[in-house]
Structures are given as C-alpha cells and as structure tokens.
Structure 1
Amino acid sequence: MSDGASGDDRRSAIEIDGVTVELGGNRVLDSVSASVPEGRFVGLVGPNGAGKTTLLRAIHGAVGPDAGEVRVAGDPIADLSSKEASRRIAVVPQDTGLAFDFPVEEVVAMGRNPYKSRFSGPSDAGREHVEAAMERTEVARFADRPITAVSGGERQRVLLARALAQDAPALLLDEPTASLDINHQVRTLELVRELVDDDGKTVIAAIHDLNLAAHYCDELLLLADGGIRASGDPATVLSERHLEAAFDTRAVVSRHPVTGSTYVTALPERPDRPAGRVHVVGGGGTVSRLLYVLSAAGYEVSVGALNEGDSDLETARSLGVEAVTEEPFAPVGEAARREVEDRIRAADATVLADVEVGAGNLANLRAAREADEVVVVEERPFAERNFAGSEAAALYESLSERGRVVGPDELLSAVAAAVERSDPVGRVDAE
C-alpha cells in the first residue's frame, strides 16, 4: 500500500485515486490516493474526525467523491451496480444495531442477497456459505437467537459472519474492536488475520487502537486533517514524529518485549519540575521501553542492577538514566544489591518489570522489598519466567500483594498514583 507507487508487485485489489469528499460544506477527504495489493491487511489509523469512516464509505460506493475515483479490481466503483459492488467488497459497519429481531441465521443469510434475483430463494451453495460463515465466526450455536438478544461482541461476530457469507474478495471493517473488551478485540482481529493469511482476503479496517493495528496489520495508512500523513509498515508509520503531527500529542514508540511488534505509549505533557523519583528493576531487554516512557513523562529515573552488555543498560545510558551495574554475566553481588536498596529507598516508587528471575538476579527481587510503593508490570505469568525457585515465587507474590500489578498501558497512571501516595503533601505543596 502507498500514497504513491507501491513496492509490492502483487496486483492492486483497491486503488484510491485523488479522492476528495466534501460533507456539509467541509472537506473531509482531500486528494487521498493509495493502492492496496491483494491479500493484505491494511489498517486505517488516525485521530477522530480524520476521515477514516468516510474513506471506507467512498471505497464501497456509499459516498460519491467530489473528485477522484475508487477502482476495485480495476473497475471504477461508481460504474458497478450495487449487487456487483457487493460481490467484490463486503462491509462490517461500526454500528451493530439492527431495528428488527431477526434471528442470527437470517442476519448472516443477508450476505447472500447480492447473488439472488428478485424472485429467487436461497440456493444450496448459498446455504453452505452461510453455514460455513457461522462456523468460522463461532456464532452457529445461537443461530436461532434474535440478534438483539446477543452481546456486543457476539453481534460483531454475527456481522462479520454476514460479510463472510457475502464471499467477496475484499473486506472493509469500520472500527471492528470499538466498545469490545480485550478478549473480543483479540478474537476478532485474530479471525481477520486468518482471513488474510489463509483465504487470501484483502482487508481494510479502521482501527482506533494503534497497538492492535501495529500487531495485526501488514501496513497502515495514517489519516489526519483529511489527508494521508504516512503509509507503509507499522514501524514506519507509527513514528514519534508522525504521531505528534497527526494526534498533537507526545508518544514513545518502542518494541513490545513479548510480541516484538511496534508499541505506542501516549505521554502526558512534560512537567516543569521532576514528576518524582522512580527506580526500575528488570534486565534482559525488559525495561528499555519503560525507561523511555518514564523519562519522557518527566520522572527522575534510575535502574538496576544491570550487567554490562545488557541492552537495557545501553538504553539507560543513551537516556542519561543512572544505573547500578555489575560485571558481564556476573550475579548481582552484595555491593550492587546494597546500592539498589539505597536507590529504592530514595525513590518515590519502584517498578518491577516483566523480567526473568534466576539465581544471578534474585538479589534484585530481594532488594525490591525495601520499596514503599511498588508497581509490578506483568505481561507473562511469573511461573513462566521464574528460574530461581520458591524464594523468588514468594518474593514476587509479596511484592504483587503490596503493590499494584498492571499491564504496560497502565504504567504511567499506576506510577503517578504510587508517587502521589509516597509524598502527597510534598506534591501538593510543589504545585
């Protein structure tokens, strides 16, 4: 995908050529151009009001552009009949509300309407498509239930099943994860990813969660102020410069330590004074992102103990973060442990990263007992990364019970609360 020439040698499934759309006297899209190759999952990202939904509507012909055109499989969408357009592109809308209590199976069967003549009934092939779509999306078990009687996540899967029953090579989704809990978000996007990888579908989806978009999409198209601000792979598009320009906010972009995908953390405005002192315990590549985020948010950060050669230590030095160090591959010794304890006692909050714990760095976990306020960042169960036995398990359990266990998205809010509890009077007076 690109807003100009594409380096992908596959045939374009959808071409957007200089599309301009004005609604109510406002120019929502301004000369938007992009080319989407077959068999790719492309995410539309951008702030609210950027024109993502309008672009999707222009692609499937629901909105006629004031200038430019959209071509699907080489043909202008404006020249196709409604049925022919629906045979090429299926749509999953953001609004999952339906006015009537249709049974779920009937809703899914609506996806076969583009293949019916005015007086024809359902064909055997049509029934097979409907049944296969319901099985694929795991909605067959409530086929007879009214659509209004299923949950929001289930209803989203029903509408996705309807789109699959349509058997179109291209699929458009408008905020498919909006208002869903994380479990349904992941299940929905995992299924969409399978449709691209296993069935060769071409998918364009407006996704508000940048981290989900980065993890699941092959390419992204960043819209802002009615135009394309960046396009390409997630790492290229989700740069700190692009995000600040598009969203008017500061962000830190790093690699997720578990998935390896691009990871975005929005930051508050940098305060005029240090936001507080935070010591970070981790290592082995688990704290680089945390150091970036905490430093950018204005905290006075220290880290350790880290071995020389650890990538986290390189990050700390590049950020000017003070670090407690040990020799390469050496266990954390008594002197380093005492220094870590001193750092922790001086800190307003201590952050324990999603680090693997063995005999060599168990001393860091012991030192963390000195913390008054603890934030435990957990992305994997501790049992999967505990190589130091029962003592480590007991220490981790104690720290988790005393502190707050959070995912990486909750880091800043948890640290802010911990710092406030550590010195509430001082914080108020300083302000």
Structure 2
Amino acid sequence: MTRTRTRSRIYWRDRGGQRRGYGDFRDYADVGGGREALILPGQKVATTDPVVAEKLAVDRLKVLEERRRGRALLGVERQVGLAEFAEYHLVQKARTGQFTEQWLAAVEKHLRTALDYLGAERDLASIRVADIQKYAGYMQQLPNGRGGTLSGGSVRKYLNSLSNLYRRAVAESVVPPGYNPVAALIEKPTAGRREARWLEVHEAALLLESARSHRPERPEMAQPHLYPIVATFLLTGGRESEVLGLEVEDVSFDRKVIAFRPNRWRRLKTSTSHRSVPLWPQLEEILRPYVFGGSSPPGSLLFPSVRGPHESMITDLRKALDAIAVRAGWKAGEIRTKMFRHTYCAARLQTLDRGAPVSDYTVARELGHGGRAMVERVYGHLGQIRHRSEVVEYRVEQYADVLGERLAALRAQADQG
C-alpha cells in the first residue's frame, strides 16, 4: 500500500476553528466503509495531526481489506444492515403461513428493540458477542409495564428472536457460515432444575373457588371467563398458549374430550402436542353453561380477549391471576399458569384407570410428551394429601376441613362483595 494511496483518502474539515482529518472509504462500502472521522482511541473528535491521520487511515484500510478478504474466502455475498435484513426476515416468516399474527408481532417488537440498541444500519457481520452481552444487560433494565423490569425469561425471548434472524442470515450467505453471536452467548450449559412450584389438590380447589366468586370492584378490570379459564388449565394440564388458543369446536361434550391441535391462533410445541385429553366431569360442569349460556364466546375462540375490535387471543393473565390469588391467601406473583400443568400431572397420577393406577405413559401423552421421562423427572410430584379417584377434580367441599380459615376468609370476602 503506497503512502500516496492513503493520503489521497484523507481530507480536512474546519471544526471549531481547527482542521480535523476525515477518511473517504466509500469504495469499501460493501464491508462498512464510508466517509469517516479519523479519531484516536479514547478521543471523541477527529485528529488535527496529519501524521496521526495517516496512521489511522492506514489502520482503517487494513481492517476493511481484511474484512473484504474474509467475505470472499467464506462466500459471503454482500453487506446487509440489521434493519434491512430484519424486515426481510419478517416478510419471509409471514409468507410461510406457519406463524400467527400475534407471534409475528412479538418477534417484530423483539427485533425493533435490537435495532434501537445495536443500530439500524449496523452490518450483521460486525456484531460481536460483546455487543450482545451489553444488549442483554440493557434489556434487563427495560420496564415490563408492571412496575418492574424484564425478567430473565423475557430477555431470552428477545435474544432467541435475534438468534433466529442470524440463522437465516447464515443460510443465505449474508454472514459467514456458523456466524451467530447471539447463539454463542445463550447456548451455554444451564444449572440444574429447581423443584417446580405446584398446588396440592386442596389448594387448587381453593384457587378455583376464588376464581368462581371473584367480582372485581372495577368492572373494566374483570376477565369475564376467568373461572372457566382457570378450570381448563387445572383440569387439562395444557400449556398457556394451548389453553388460550383453544377453539369452541375443540371441546367435544359428546365424546368427553378436549383436543389440543394447531390452528390459526397458535402452533403447538411439538408433534406429540397434538392430542386429546379427557373432559373431566367437573370441567364439563363449568364449560357447558359457559359455552351454551348467555356469556358464550361470540367467535371461534373459546376464551377470546375482551380488548380490541377484532377477535384475538388473551396475551396476559397475570393481573387476573394475582387478583384471585390474593383473595385466597397467596401473594401477588405466586400463582402462574405454569404451575397448573404441574398440578394436573400430580393430581392425574393419583387417579385410577379401570381400577388400576394410571400409567405414567398415559399421563405423559395427555401432557403432550412422547415418553414418560418428563413426567418422572419434571412434572410428577407427590402431594401431602394422598387420594385415589377415577377422575381429576378439585372440589372445595371435599377439603373444607383442611382449608379451614382460608376458605372461611374467602367466603367472607365473597359475602361482602
């Protein structure tokens, strides 16, 4: 590289009464070059020293040429900015028809957050693991809309959306093969599982009774079908999206089953998630008047959101769950839908199938798993109250003695309401 070639790239501008050096690297635009201030490390403004400017220009050229050689060697076809590829990525996802509008909107939100922090024009191949680490730290400070900040699980969802974008970029030779700074950060060994929280049968009965008698002071805060929603969670073991995405036609009162199957509202997690579970007598008693009564769902969704002019899935039950949990003696935040899946499994394992204890495999299939391993390792819990029954049910009258003052306090609240 000749000195003349480097000097020809340097030009000067008057800034604050001083001439400051800039470099013209627009012929390296494919690898991020452009008109750039020549700034020493640790400084914030361009240098005024011609010797330093030449040194900085030489160093910058080396970086750009190395980047271009790397692209040619690895078969990377072109430079693409983060915003440009994010838009393309979302369009391609939508065209497949495999994703719901709700899912696409969530991914768009995740990627927009990345654009705001990392830079919309940032070259995909220039983002490093260190950048993603800082981005993850930034997200942990973002408000969650409920007075707190994003949880670790929410941050991981944001990172997964960005990682998925990089997988497409690799497949289309926009970045080098295997280049994914997000996966390099999040795909690490995790600590062993902690004992999951779940409800004893009598606790589930108390929570269900709280949902049945709940009458919020502010009518606009009411979830009109909270009681059948909680009952469906507790009496099917369905995942959150599975239950909230149920359609009316998924409930068969004739065959006494509820079908979890993919539809236009949501996908299922795995192929074994497509399944039918028993419509237990208690759940039928709750759903039948709901489906055929005056508060029946107006569209195809069994539990539609009351927000917005168009039919859509409920996206967040946390405030409603907090309301019924506090009434029944729990603290806000202690009751979440994940617990209901564990609760159903524990209760189901106590039932009889034609007089014999139900098999782990049957329970696993009802949960949507291909084998019994998850039941044995994760979802199976042994309660303090042992019972044997032909059905899964949580009837508060059966546990009035055990619940004692908690049930009395709940009923007193209902009488006052």
TM-score range (shorter-chain normalised) is: under 0.3
- Which one has the largest radius of gyration? 2
After TM superposition, the score normalised by the length of structure 2 is 0.25
After TM superposition, the score normalised by the length of structure 1 is 0.25
Greater per-residue strand proportion: 1
Greater per-residue helix proportion: 2
